[in-house]
Amino acid sequence: MSQTREDTSQQGHNSAINFQPQVTSALANSQLRGNFDKAMTGLMHKRSSAFADWDLDALRDLGQAIRQRALRQLPDLLEQLERQCQANGIQVHWARDGDEACRVITEICQQRQAKTVIKGKSMVTEEMELNTHLEQRGYSVLESDLGEYIVQMAKETPSHIIMPAIHKNTAEIADLMHTMTGVERREDAHYLTDQARQQLREKFMQADVGISGVNFAVADSGTLCLVENEGNGRLTTTTPPCHIAVTGIEKVVPSLTDIAPLLSLLTRSATGQSITTYVNMISRPRQPGEQDGPEAVHLVLVDNGRSDIYQDDELAQTLQCIRCGACMNHCPVYTRIGGHAYGTTYPGPIGQVLMPQLLGLEQTPDFASASSLCGSCGEVCPVRIPLPSLLLRLRREAVDGDKTRPSTVPGHGSKRSGLESLIWRFWRIVHRHPLLYRQSTRLASQLRALSPKRLGGWTRYRSAPKLAKTTLHSAMNARSGRQQP
């Protein structure tokens, strides 16, 4: 099962995600499950080996401290980043949401009289559906990351935030490239990679604008840090005459000294590498006398709901995320259903926490509950985001009956039903009055034969619990020879 870009756009911003049917479809796809099982097992082993000689707890503590310090100073750091970038010659733009960010980027393309855009890997541009926006306005947009290039040819969305095409095996990619580009069909990863490289290289030289994401933005130097393995990021940011970097406002850090420990955590957690092949530090456009680099560099800082998350001290920990994907790689739910079953930009544990806050609990009603709460995601998060406790917080938010209580989470209380409210109101009355409690439990035990054998989805794989023949009070009184009151 795959999630197409058309499916994503049709869902819009006001309809609930069809999570349960998508999960059922994914579980029935044995090929998909096999692909993910093999890939996730390999990634978990690589991560474990990469940290074997490190004091991982100390490094995670440091990563957490850096991200929390940056978030505490976020408003000041963003202003400092803007000042320093502008001093370096980078033009800074602010966008309240994805739509405004798309408009800003379109205006830049129009000013440059651009026709072709080449785009490096960027989850925030997936979040704001930038490709669709630009294509609808006549621009040719090509993904330069190999995984993104594959899913773009398949007209799908990424199924993982680090490895977009991880849901496909070599045979499926060979079929796709043969059909879409005419290359010889060979189930050889090196051959397929080489063919994609040849096809993309010409596009880099022709592109009018290059668009990239940002892993970290350094406030005190105005430096944009971008890590990658294929070299496509460097070509995207240096070959076209105009480079547009797009990032969420939470990616800023105070100083370059913060980058080294974060990169150590990011690359090892994501792919099990000590460091990625390329680490790009972008601080300015091309200067007089320099041989390469873009004529103009733009930085688009996207809010898109992050300021609302920032207002809640507990949920603000979501913004510590460095987008390594480790929580997905170790999640027993994600590894069985894949990313497309979630139907949102960010899948897996981080998606289950982030997307309800961005889209609303009413549009993601099943996300917080689609977890075994095994704790694996929290155990492997390199910056110690307490994902299991945040999932519990969102579960409470979804069924909280106090609609007057201030909440930063859109859709607060959306899963609480009238029947559920009535049941809990009765439960509260019964448990506040001892005599009523004893009479109710005695009646329930006497009518145990009428207990339902089906309790919704809970009994699909379990037997319905049976009420005891007698209440605990009655049993204890009978044992002591006392008369039941």
Tens of pLDDT, residues 398-407: 988 776 777 8
Task: Give the domain-ending residue among 255, 278, 308.
Answer: 308
Residue 347's pLDDT is 97
Residue 92 and residue 86: Cα distance in Å, rounded? 7
Residue 2's pLDDT is 66
Are the C-beta atoms of 146 and 230 separated by less than 8 Å? Answer: yes
How large is the average pLDDT for residues 332-346?
Answer: 96
366 assigned to some structural domain? no
Residue 404's pLDDT is 72
E strands, 274-360, in order = 278-282, 296-302
Structure tokens at 298: 């733009």
147 assigned to some structural domain? yes
* Shared-domain flag, residues 54 and 183: yes
Residue 282 and residue 214: Cα distance in Å, rounded? 10
Residue 11's pLDDT is 46
Give the tens place of pLDDT for each residue, 158-170: 999 999 999 999 9
359 assigned to some structural domain? no
Residue 280's pLDDT is 96
How many of the other CB atoms lie within 10 Å of CB of 355? 23
pLDDT tier, 8 (very low <50, low <70, confident <90, very high otherwise): low
Residue 343 and residue 22: Cα distance in Å, rounded? 8
Domain extent at residue 44: 5-308
How large is the average pLDDT for residues 441-454?
Answer: 85
Residue 442's pLDDT is 86
- Look up the pTM and report it: 0.89
Residue 444's pLDDT is 86
Give the tens place of pLDDT for each residue, 213-256: 999 999 999 999 999 999 999 999 999 999 999 999 999 999 99
How large is the average pLDDT for residues 121-150?
Answer: 96
249 assigned to some structural domain? yes
> Residue 211's Cα: distance from chain center in Å?
20
Judge residue 145's burial from the number of C-beta atoms within 10 Å of its C-beta, 0-12 exposed, 13-18 middle, 19 or more buried.
buried
- Does residue 480 have a pLDDT over 60? yes
Number of folded domains that form the chain: 2
| Residue-averaged pLDDT of the chain | 92
Give the tens place of pLDDT for each residue, 60-74: 999 999 999 999 999
pLDDT tier, 470 (very low <50, low <70, confident <90, very high otherwise): confident
Residue 12's pLDDT is 45
367 assigned to some structural domain? no
DSSP assignments along 264-297, one per residue: HHHHHHHHS-SS-SEEEEE-SSPPTT-SSS-SEE
Residue 61's pLDDT is 98
347 assigned to some structural domain? no
By mean pLDDT, which of 37-51, 176-190, 413-427 is the weakest?
A: 413-427
- Does residue 359 have a pLDDT over 90? yes
Residue 63 and residue 216: Cα distance in Å, rounded? 13
Question: Which has the closest alpha carbon to 324: 265, 258, 247, 245?
Answer: 265
**How close are the terminal C-alpha atoms of the chain, in Å?**
61
* Shared-domain flag, residues 96 and 225: yes
pLDDT tier, 476 (very low <50, low <70, confident <90, very high otherwise): confident
How large is the average pLDDT for residues 263-285?
Answer: 96
- Does residue 484 have a pLDDT over 70? no
pLDDT tier, 472 (very low <50, low <70, confident <90, very high otherwise): confident
Place of tokens 């456009």: 285
What percentage of the chain reaches a pLDDT higher than 70? 96
Length of the chain: 485
- Does residue 5 have a pLDDT over 70? no
How many of the other CB atoms lie within 10 Å of CB of 131? 22
CATH (domain of 71)? 3.40.50.10420
* Shared-domain flag, residues 303 and 432: no
* Shared-domain flag, residues 285 and 424: no
Task: Give the domain-ending residue among 308, 324, 345.
Answer: 308
455 assigned to some structural domain? yes
pLDDT tier, 6 (very low <50, low <70, confident <90, very high otherwise): low
199 assigned to some structural domain? yes
Task: Give the domain-ending residue among 281, 308, 335.
Answer: 308
